[in-house]
């Protein structure tokens, strides 16, 4: 080969639009990350329980991160397509003609509609909504957020019914911004509380219930359905298309290589998600187990999953770090200077508790502290809250599956802390297999986009490298049980219940 001959690698550009940043990676045909870039995005907490982001800023962050990632390449690539993963349960409303957002994007953590949940519950809609959508009535999901935004800008719904207003989640907003198409990926749609899971279509009764006209809703699309050409991103070749869209937690599950029931993963970010695929005919996860039923992806047929969402894990660490005037790394370092939290528990119910409790009235509490409590013990309690909340969901999954979970998969920013993952293994008494790919959600979107664009087959994708680390339990099982019991007592305090906790027979005699 001539020294002047250029090697041009086929590649997928994958974007993960998250709560605090937008990340982009460039992945070659062997699954290797050639370049990466990250652009921070801001959020506004205008009032307690309100979480807003600027939809225009989010769009700009996507373009900026793609531009930076391609600028960071050492050599030429043949871009075969784009993959997109995104934060879920968001809500954006925009002008269909101008493409301009008509208000803030309400993030998944936004709780401003809690009073409306109570109203619908009192009217008897709770069980109906859960049966249709697999989700409990809760402010986290998009329906009530969309309703709230429409109430501000189109109270009589005239513009919405005339088709002048478009609504959607952040993936829908980004696809429209980049291609002009008003559509939503089916897995993201299943998080809106407006999708009928059985028919995989918009539920007209729920649209009427939440006062959202069908005319403003996006078209439903499979996760692997290509879009039209992307416009307005000069660094991308003409006719570049989005070949995959997945919610961030769904994308992480795909990147782990999970394609069938039996494996359970936990994705840690600002909050955390525990997810696995459902066997056909499996019990409904929502039947008293604190879990929800959702669509993992559609290629093109829907694949169903169970999930539990924790509202605050990584966000807890950021909050305490800011309170103590230190970054996450410093917080972790001081937490490791003590062997226990000395009886301190931190239950981060800043906006209520998500799964497995779904208790919006729960309040954040720090208990068990005294005059001698030091920042190190508070820090350790915060890190322990991540592992203990996640273990509560693993226990709920065991009730669903009717079997012991011996091994769990994990990923996300906080999971890259080895000490935290060892806490998870110790408290859970399970083997923890962590993905060492920091951008796992983007990687999952890249994997599906590679399949959809023809860069590799499904079997070839399954053989792509997946570097992991394994953490084995090192704590005495009795000590682990005692720690979990104390955590349940703290959660009971948060929920305004008796602080006394009586363990079950299974917990008294762990296997």
Give the CATH number, domain containing residue 186: 3.30.420.40
Are 218 and 262 part of one and the same domain?
no
Residue 4: pLDDT band with limits 50, 70, 90: low
Contacts of 327 (CB under 8 A, 6+ apart): 321
Among 179, 214, 243, where does a domain finish?
Answer: 243
Q: Is the pLDDT reported for residue 153 higher than 70?
A: yes
468/415 Cα distance (integer angstroms): 11
Condensed to tens digits (0 to 9), the pLDDT of residues 299-330 reads 999 999 999 989 999 999 999 999 999 998 99
| Same-domain pairing of 237 and 260 | no
**Domain boundary pick from 184, 210, 243:** 243
- pTM of the prediction? 0.87
Q: What is the pLDDT of residue 6?
A: 65
- pLDDT at position 503, please? 39
Q: Report CA-CA distances (Å) from 241 to 46, 129, 238.
A: 36, 35, 9
Q: What is the pLDDT of residues 230-267, one digit of tens each?
A: 999 999 999 999 999 999 999 999 999 999 888 999 98
| pLDDT > 90? residue 458 | yes
Let me know if residue 4 belongs to a domain: no
Rounded to 5 degrees, what angle do the CA atoms 166, 231, 247 make? 55
- The pLDDT assigned to 358 comes to 85
237 and 257, same structural domain? no
Q: How many residues would you count in the chain?
A: 511
Span 197-226, pLDDT tens digits:
999 999 999 999 999 999 999 999 999 999
Mean pLDDT over each residue of the chain, to the nearest integer: 92
DSSP string, 202-239: E-HHHHHHTT--GGGSPEEE-TT---SB--S-TTSPTT
Domain edge (last residue) among 220, 243, 266? 243
263 and 300 Cβ atoms separated by less than 8 Å: no
Alpha carbons 422 and 472: distance in angstroms, whole number: 7
Phi, psi of 137 (to 5 degrees): -60, 120
Residues 156 and 172 in one domain: yes
- What does the pLDDT read at residue 452? 97
Q: Contact, 319 vs 45, CB < 8 A?
A: no
First to last CA, the chain: 62
Task: Dig out the tokens for 200 from the structure.
Answer: 């995989």
> Is the pLDDT assigned to residue 341 strictly greater than 90?
yes
Q: What is the Cα–Cα distance from 268 to 386, expressed in whole angstroms?
A: 9
Residue that wins the pLDDT comparison between 280 and 316? 316
Q: How many domains in the chain?
A: 2
Owning domain of residue 98: 9-243
In a domain, 443, yes or no: no
Task: Give tens-digit pLDDT for 83-100.
Answer: 999 999 999 999 999 999
pLDDT at 505 over 60: no
In the numeric block, the tokens 């929800």 are attached to 292
Asked if residue 460 belongs to a domain, the reply is no
Q: Which two tokens stand for residue 55?
A: 């939809």
């Amino acid at each position: 080969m001539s020294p002047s001959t250029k090697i041009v690698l086929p590649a997928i550009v994958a974007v993960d639009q998250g709560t605090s940043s937008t990340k982009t990676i460039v992945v070659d045909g062997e699954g290797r990350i050639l370049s990466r870039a990250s652009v921070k995005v801001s959020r506004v907490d205008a009032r307690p329980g309100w979480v807003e982001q600027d939809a225009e800023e989010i769009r700009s962050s996507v373009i900026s991160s793609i531009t930076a990632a391609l600028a960071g390449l050492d050599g030429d690539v043949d871009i075969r397509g784009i993959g997109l993963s995104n934060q879920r349960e968001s809500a954006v409303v925009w002008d269909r003609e101008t493409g301009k957002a008509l208000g803030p994007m309400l993030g998944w953590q936004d709780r401003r509609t809690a009073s409306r949940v109570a109203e619908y519950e009192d009217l008897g809609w709770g069980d109906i909504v859960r049966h249709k959508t697999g989700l409990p009535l809760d402010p986290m999901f998009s329906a009530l957020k969309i309703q709230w935004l429409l109430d501000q800008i189109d109270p009589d719904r005239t513009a919405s019914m005339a088709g002048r207003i478009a609504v959607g989640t952040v993936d829908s907003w980004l696809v429209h911004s980049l291609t002009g198409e008003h559509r939503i990926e089916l897995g993201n749609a299943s998080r809106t509380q407006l999708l009928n899971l059985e028919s995989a279509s918009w539920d007209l009764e729920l649209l009427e219930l939440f006062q959202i006209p069908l005319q403003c809703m996006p078209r439903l699309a499979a996760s692997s359905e290509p879009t039209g050409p992307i416009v307005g991103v000069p660094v991308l070749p003409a006719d570049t298309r989005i070949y995959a869209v997945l919610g961030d937690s769904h994308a992480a599950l795909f990147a782990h290589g999970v394609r069938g029931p039996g494996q359970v993963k936990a994705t840690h970010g600002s909050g955390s998600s525990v997810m696995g695929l459902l066997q056909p005919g499996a019990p409904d996860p929502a039947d008293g187990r604190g879990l929800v039923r959702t669509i993992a992806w559609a290629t093109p047929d829907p694949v169903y999953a169970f999930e539990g969402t924790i509202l605050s894990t990584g966000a807890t660490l950021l909050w305490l770090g800011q309170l103590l005037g230190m970054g996450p790394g410093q917080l972790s370092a001081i937490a490791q200077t003590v062997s226990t939290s000395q009886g301190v528990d931190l239950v981060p119910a800043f906006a209520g508790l998500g799964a497995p409790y779904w208790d919006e009235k729960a309040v954040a509490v720090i208990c068990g502290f005294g005059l001698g409590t030091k920042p190190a013990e508070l820090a350790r309690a915060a890190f322990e809250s991540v592992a203990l909340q996640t273990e509560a969901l693993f226990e709920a999954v065991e009730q669903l599956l009717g079997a012991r979970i011996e091994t769990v998969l994990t990923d996300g920013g906080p999971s890259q802390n080895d000490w935290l993952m060892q806490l998870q293994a110790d408290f859970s008494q399970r083997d923890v297999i962590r993905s060492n790919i920091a951008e796992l959600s983007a990687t999952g979107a890249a994997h599906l986009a590679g399949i959809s664009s023809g860069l590799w087959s499904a079997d070839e994708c399954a053989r792509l490298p997946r570097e992991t680390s394994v953490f084995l339990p090192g704590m005495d099982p009795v000590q682990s049980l005692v720690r979990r019991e104390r955590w349940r007592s703290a959660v009971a305090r948060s929920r305004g219940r008796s602080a006394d906790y009586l363990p079950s027979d299974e917990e008294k005699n762990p296997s």
